[in-house]
Amino acid sequence: MKKILITEFMEQDSVDSISEVFDVMYDPSLHENVERLSAQIALVEAVIVRNKTQLNEALLLKASNLRFVGRLGVGLDNIDTNYCSNNNIFVQPATGMNADSVAEYVIACALSLLKNIPISHSGTVSGQWPRTSVESRELGGKTLGLLGFGVIGKKVSRLAQVFGANVIAYDPFVKSSDAENLGVSLTTQEELFSLSDVISIHLPLTDETRDLMNLSSFNKMKKNPIIINSSRGSIINENDLLRAYKESLISGFALDVYNSEPVIEEFYKEITSSMNCILTPHTSGVTVESNVRVSQFIADKVIKFLAD
Ligand SMILES: NC(=O)c1ccc[n+]([C@@H]2O[C@H](COP(=O)([O-])OP(=O)(O)OC[C@H]3O[C@@H](n4cnc5c(N)ncnc54)[C@H](O)[C@@H]3O)[C@@H](O)[C@H]2O)c1
């Protein structure tokens, strides 16, 4: 029987559906033990991971029988995709399966931060009753700038338009006619920085996008925007982000992803309850509903792939 290794959390129903046809080794904490992982990956034809398992060349060299990598999520930066394509290992992300969760998260953050809800909340629970001192704004009529107009960027644009926002996007790989059909104008990065009231990042992490948002970008932002990052931490320079907030170049930020995860103390100790910000632990794509979709999508793909 063909063997499959699952190294991080997967919905039990989906694990069970794979177990009906293949020999499954499921250990959601295996990613923490590289030695055991190296020994087990050598035995299998497929491995299923989230984002904590580092499928680097050293580990893949041990995986002499491997033909399929299933990723319970979208970003592939924890997988050496060059090694996989050179060695005939098919990599299957769960494209689009958690996009609705991320898009809802972005809108939730945009609305909360435009309304200064983190500051209202901490003022109220500390007995200050900040009824007149905290300003609140609407998303309607504001300009939302999307860096990256792929699956998630498009879903965010649709939701934001329902609130009456004007959506612009920077994505040199998308045709302007395709964006226009969705009521979105493509701009340059500089235009997006200068025109947006809210900027949300939906890019993959690559050599080109690493550190893409830095002090020079914040200095180009004319409307003291809200910044939202649910893509990958290293796309924003975190020190520059804190500096931009302290210097009022931006008026709030939401981060779901960080340069280093779990987020390091050096960063979170700078965050206080008087700041208009929301920090979450890389969970924007993780909902009860998306877990089911992502797991079953990958289960179906691995069953089909190994059956062929
Ligand atoms: N926080 C989470 O839980 C979570 C969940 C899902 C996805 N993500 C992240 O969100 C990112 C976006 O997801 P997606 O499904 O929309 O991906 P996608 O591939 O559909 O879209 C990415 C877009 O970025 C564009 N792009 C690539 N390089 C660019 C560059 N240098 N400049 C401008 N545009 C560029 C591409 O043309 C594409 O349209 C993923 O890469 C992943 O890292 C995070």
In this structure, the answer to whether residues 133 and 273 fall within a common structural domain is yes
For residue 137, give the amino acid letter.
R
In this structure, the answer to whether residues 107 and 92 fall within a common structural domain is no
Do the bridges between strand 143-147 and strand 166-170 make them parallel or antiparallel, or are there none, so unpaired? parallel
The verdict on the CB of residue 70 being under 6 Å from ligand 1 is no
Distance 42 CA to ligand 1 centre (A): 31
Q: Dihedrals φ, ψ of 64, to 5°?
A: -70, -20
The verdict on the CB of residue 47 being under 6 Å from ligand 1 is no
The verdict on the CB of residue 232 being under 6 Å from ligand 1 is yes
Strand partners, 227: 199, 253
CA distance 218 to 14: 44
Residues tagged active-site: 232, 261, 282
Pocket test for ligand 1, best of 50, 77, 170, 173 (most atoms within 8 A of CB): 173
Q: Which residue's CA is the nearest one to ligand 1's atom 22?
A: 150
Looking at residue 286, its pLDDT comes to 94
Do the bridges between strand 166-170 and strand 90-93 make them parallel or antiparallel, or are there none, so unpaired? unpaired
Pocket test for ligand 1, best of 81, 171, 199, 203 (most atoms within 8 A of CB): 203
> Which atom of ligand 1 is nearest the CA belonging to 232?
43
Q: Which residue's CA is the nearest one to ligand 1's atom 5?
A: 285
Q: Which residues contact 189 (CB under 8 A, 6 or more apart)?
A: 147, 170, 217
Written as tens digits, the pLDDT of the chain (308 aa) is 999 999 999 999 999 999 999 999 999 999 999 999 999 999 999 999 999 999 999 999 999 999 999 999 988 999 999 999 999 999 999 999 999 999 999 999 999 999 999 999 999 999 999 999 999 999 999 999 999 999 999 999 999 999 999 999 999 999 999 999 999 999 999 999 999 999 999 999 999 999 999 999 999 999 999 999 999 999 999 999 999 999 999 999 999 999 999 999 999 999 999 999 999 999 999 999 999 999 999 999 999 999 97
Please identify which residue in the block is written with the tokens 């989230």: 50
The verdict on the CB of residue 204 being under 6 Å from ligand 1 is yes
Q: Which residues contact 226 (CB under 8 A, 6 or more apart)?
A: 109, 110, 113, 114, 197, 198, 199, 250, 251, 252, 253, 254
The verdict on the CB of residue 217 being under 6 Å from ligand 1 is no
Please identify which residue in the block is written with the tokens 């939302």: 144
In this structure, the answer to whether residues 164 and 294 fall within a common structural domain is no
CA distance 156 to 99: 9
Q: Dihedrals φ, ψ of 302, to 5°?
A: -70, -35
CB 244 within 8 A of CB 250: yes
Q: What is the CATH number of the domain that holds 55?
A: 3.40.50.720
Looking at residue 308, its pLDDT comes to 77
Q: Which residues contact 215 (CB under 8 A, 6 or more apart)?
A: 237, 240, 243, 244
In this structure, the answer to whether residues 120 and 268 fall within a common structural domain is yes
In this structure, the answer to whether residues 68 and 103 fall within a common structural domain is no
In this structure, the answer to whether residues 152 and 275 fall within a common structural domain is yes
Which stretch of DSSP H or E encloses residue 5? strand 3-6
- In terms of residue numbers, what domain contains 294? 3-97+288-307
Instruction: Write the pLDDT tens digit of every residue in 23-75.
Output: 999 999 999 999 999 999 999 999 999 999 999 999 999 999 999 999 999 88
In this structure, the answer to whether residues 158 and 29 fall within a common structural domain is no
Looking at residue 269, its pLDDT comes to 97
Q: Dihedrals φ, ψ of 226, to 5°?
A: -85, 135
CB 155 within 8 A of CB 100: yes
Q: Is 279 helix (H, G, I), strand (E, B) or coil?
A: strand
In this structure, the answer to whether residues 93 and 147 fall within a common structural domain is no
In this structure, the answer to whether residues 227 and 192 fall within a common structural domain is yes
- What is the number of structural domains in the chain? 2
Looking at residue 75, its pLDDT comes to 87
In this structure, the answer to whether residues 141 and 90 fall within a common structural domain is no
In this structure, the answer to whether residues 254 and 114 fall within a common structural domain is yes
In this structure, the answer to whether residues 188 and 255 fall within a common structural domain is yes
Looking at residue 18, its pLDDT comes to 98
The verdict on the CB of residue 156 being under 6 Å from ligand 1 is no
pTM of the full predicted structure? Answer: 0.93
Q: What are the structure tokens assigned to 124, written together?
A: 């109220």
